[in-house]
Amino acid sequence: MAGLEDLYKEIVIDHYRSPRNRGELETPPAQHAEGLNPLCGDEVHVYVQVEDEVITEVAIGGQGCSISQASASMMSAAIKGKSLAEVRELSTAVKSMMSIHEQSLEDDDSGVLPEPPEVELGDLEALKGVVKYPVRIKCATLGWNTLAEALQS
Ligand code: ZN
């Protein structure tokens, strides 16, 4: 599986070096939220424009570690042009991917996890390579949590 690990690493580095959808959107019409991960000093700003239940525009700002910024970039590429329902599924799939790892690390077999939705993760799959390091999970989910806030704003 070493090849897969390398691929994951490459995807993360690529998104960190060439972040997608970097910038700002005018608010309104766009919705905006800022997320902080004090454990690591990460900051992610998410701007989304929603028209007819579809994310038509997304922009990402902020600064922080490679995982937080690469993860936010991957998220922006994954959600652009998707319906809010599709985005919710993606978000659930990413978070369950993280919590499965969290749980296996704790070696806790008490809880039964809900079946993750069957969605195409694309580059987001690369986050699997990250979540072996529990301290980085908050970095990787920061973008998604901030997106949820932006959509509620
Ligand atoms: Zn971080």
Dist. CA 148 → ligand 1 center (Å): 19
Enter the tokens of residue 113: 């996890």
Beta bridge partners of 32: 47
Q: Which CATH class is domain 2-103+110-152?
A: alpha beta
Q: Cα(150)–Cα(85) distance, rounded to whole angstroms? A: 15
Enter the tokens of residue 17: 């070096």
Higher pLDDT, 74 or 7: 74
Dist. CA 123 → ligand 1 center (Å): 19
* pLDDT for residue 131: 74
Residue-range domain boundaries for the chain: 2-103+110-152
**pLDDT, tens digit, for every residue of 60-119?**
999 999 999 999 999 999 999 999 999 999 999 998 888 754 444 444 455 555 566 678
**pLDDT, tens digit, for every residue of 13-43?**
999 999 999 999 999 999 999 999 999 999 9
Mean pLDDT of 45-61: 98
pLDDT tier for residue 147 given thresholds of 50, 70 and 90 = very high
* pLDDT for residue 50: 97
Q: Cα(60)–Cα(48) distance, rounded to whole angstroms? A: 9
Enter the tokens of residue 11: 């995807």
List the one residue out of 58, 64, 92 whose CA is nearest residue 78. Answer: 58
Dist. CA 95 → ligand 1 center (Å): 16
Residue 105 DSSP label: H
Dist. CA 51 → ligand 1 center (Å): 31
Dist. CA 52 → ligand 1 center (Å): 34
